[in-house]
Amino acid sequence: MRLKSSMVLPILALVLLTVTECQASRIQDLPSDTGIRENVDNLPKNEPTIKRLLDGATEEIDKIREGNQINERPMIGIFTQPYNETNDYIMASYVKFVESAGARAVPIVWRDSDEDILDLVQNLNGALFPGGSTALRNEDGSLTEHSRKIELVLNKVKELNDQGVYFPILSICMGFQEIVQSEAPYKDTVELNKFDSMNVANNLTLKYSIEDSKLFSEMPQHLINALQNENITYNHHHDGVYPSALNKYPALREGYYLLGTSYDLNGVEYVAFIESKEYPIWGIQFHPEMNIFIWKPTLEVPHSQVSIDFSQFMANFFVKQSKKNFNKFDSEEEAFDHMIEHIPVELNPLKKHEVYIFPG
């Protein structure tokens, strides 16, 4: 059990009193939260026992302080998507999304080896699983290699959180579907070609208590109202998850809250928003990044002020979670080498989107 910082010094004082009454009086000179090392260094050299006790208490207080601090230089890994048989890509809108909230983007290249991907993840502060058009599973029902790599990182992130390393994931559209598919690898978990939600903006029907959701409890009320009453979430998908699937499989029913649903153009309800019960993991079927950064005129992306405010909240919330993680590369030089700035931005002339292309 972790001690509260307010408990450490009283306990330390009691220990010192049992060692020597003379030196225990020095506790009165120790500030409540700083200056411990200065007092320790002033102890006579013939008092190693007391010095060790104080050193141990200092280390514990440092750990407690770290829990109250934030990482001002977070790095978020973004999964690449297959561009063709040899190359990968990341939509620039996802990079801008995390950068707009104060994070740096690092590509997680799905074609890399399991070992390289896991090594990279342990240096990151969060992960974003983006949308795309990659197949989720093979004809025999097994996960495709891309989905398997998503599952690999998902399991690693859970392991890190179990070890006390706070590591958030935000999964969007296909990324959300890949998480659901990984949690319950059955053919009817993610239904293919069952929804007519291509190029449409929707509202959400909230399904869970706002106060009990970590994300919704931090969302301003005017955004919650808009989310329910205005079409501010952009959707671009044929595949999706029926609400019944979350109840059907224990891993989903026991592992996730259903925060909200939407309805496609035919009135069919689908899962739009989930939140892990145990981990800082969120899944959304819609595209919050597009409200701010996608301007193709043929797309029905909402650009109202409230839709932009909602998207910025989503970015800010996710990056705020990543700032609770203190993983880092061995040096700033190594961190810079992994940043996406090394990859030139290209314009996809067909879709009129900016993309980062990763040669195979």
Which residue in the list 173, 237, 338, 353 is annotated as catalytic?
Answer: 173
Decide if 26 is inside a domain. Answer: yes
How far apart, in Å, are the Cα atoms of 292 and each of 10, 162, 312?
Answer: 52, 35, 8
Tens of pLDDT, residues 161-214: 999 999 999 999 999 999 999 999 888 899 988 999 999 999 999 999 899 999
User: For residue 321, which amino acid is it?
Assistant: Q
Given a cut of 70, whether residue 129 has pLDDT beyond it is: yes
Question: Does one domain contain both 133 and 228?
Answer: yes
Which CATH number is 287's domain given?
3.40.50.880
Domain count, the chain: 2
| pTM > 0.85: yes or no | no
pLDDT score for 193 = 87
The answer to whether residue 173 is catalytic is yes
> Largest Cα–Cα distance in the chain?
81
Question: Does one domain contain both 236 and 103?
Answer: yes
Decide if 349 is inside a domain. Answer: no
pLDDT score for 301 = 98
Which residues constitute the domain of residue 288?
75-342
Question: Does one domain contain both 100 and 34?
Answer: no
Give the residue, 294 or 68, on which the prediction is more confident. 294
Question: Does one domain contain both 44 and 99?
Answer: no
**Cα 141 to Cα 100: distance, rounded to the nearest angstrom:** 38
The answer to whether residue 22 is catalytic is no
Please, which pLDDT band fits residue 68 given cuts at 50, 70 and 90? Answer: low
Which residue in the list 146, 236, 237, 287 is annotated as catalytic?
Answer: 287
